[in-house]
Amino acid sequence: MFFIPLSLSLLNQFLQNKLMTYVSYASILIGLTILFSLFFILIIELNQDKKMNKYFQNHKKTKINLNNGRLECGYCGNRDIRESDTGCTVCGNKFDN
């Protein structure tokens, strides 16, 4: 990450060129912009994961409807659940009706 700005800075020390100074500053600025953008995306992703985890924690004892008309256990993800089942055959989770 610091290789390009560092090499440009060292090259500037040897050449004493104003253009190299501006290129070095631009490279540092671009790198910091990318760093902060990725950090911001990471914060958004962690917030989404926190909300999804909270949702699934609150729905452990439910049968989750899937797109194809099948049901899934909210605790273990077993997809062989029928509408008449009162509990999951895999994990033993009892469903709230």
Q: Is the pLDDT of residue 1 over 60?
A: no
CA distance 39 to 76: 32
In angstroms, rounded to a whole number, what is the distance separating the alpha carbons of residues 21 and 44? 35
**How high is the pLDDT of residue 16?**
76
Q: What is the pLDDT of residue 57?
A: 87
Provide the angle, in degrees to the nearest 10, between the axes of the packed helices 18-58 and 3-15: 170
Higher local confidence (pLDDT), 44 or 92: 44
Domain-by-domain residue ranges, the chain?
A: 3-58, 61-97
Tell me which DSSP letter residue 62 carries. S
The whole-number pLDDT of residue 60 equals 85
Q: How many CB atoms lie within 10 A of CB 63?
A: 20
Structure confidence by residue, pLDDT tens digits, 29-87: 998 999 999 999 999 999 999 999 998 888 888 888 888 878 888 888 888 888 888 89
Give the pLDDT confidence score for residue 97 in this predicted structure.
61
Per residue in 19-42, pLDDT tens?
777 877 888 899 899 999 999 999
